[in-house]
Amino acid sequence: MLGFIIKNVFTMKLTVLRYSGSKESTLGLLFIDGVFACYTLEDEFREIKVMGETRIPVGKYQVKLRTYGGHHTRYLKRYGSDFHKGMLQVMDVPGFTDILIHKGNDDDDTSGCLLVGDSANNNQVKNGFIGNSKVAYDRIYSVVRDVLSNGDEVWIEFLER
């Protein structure tokens, strides 16, 4: 008789609800398992992708920890190995590579990645900006990192308003 051990896998769901797009940026709201967590900023929408200047397509993607690359090295040095276990990478985005969730304030701080912050301005009257990015990132990162470090799954879905 064969025996099986089935691991119960917890799945965390991140949702980005985009609420304002301008010619330079897209603002959104990030929810963790349905609870508001912070604001987001991405590059603008484009019909045809421009490298480093186009937001992530609508869809659902898995998030994993990435333990290589420039961001990982900088964050590891800044935070130390007790906190930083790898960058949050959005996997298998069609036409995109190396999509991360990280700190930053405006579209100059992202090349297609998702930035997080605790405040946002109106990108219809001024260039898109999110503030208190480090505070939001530290809070979001620790929750997502712990789920991934436990061997569970994290998925992120990007939605339009």
pLDDT tens digits, residue range 79-131? 999 999 999 999 999 999 999 999 999 999 999 999 999 999 999 999 999 99
- pLDDT the model gives residue 6: 55
How far from the centroid of its chain's Cα atoms is residue 161's Cα?
18
Express each pLDDT in 26-76 by its tens digit.
999 999 999 999 999 999 998 888 888 899 999 999 999 999 999 999 999
Outline where DSSP puts E strands in the chain: 11-21, 26-32, 35-42, 59-66, 87-90, 99-102, 114-117, 119-120, 130-131, 153-159
pTM: 0.92
- pLDDT the model gives residue 47: 86
Phi/psi of residue 22, each to 5°? -130, -175
Phi/psi of residue 113, each to 5°? -85, 175
Express each pLDDT in 86-95 by its tens digit.
999 999 999 9
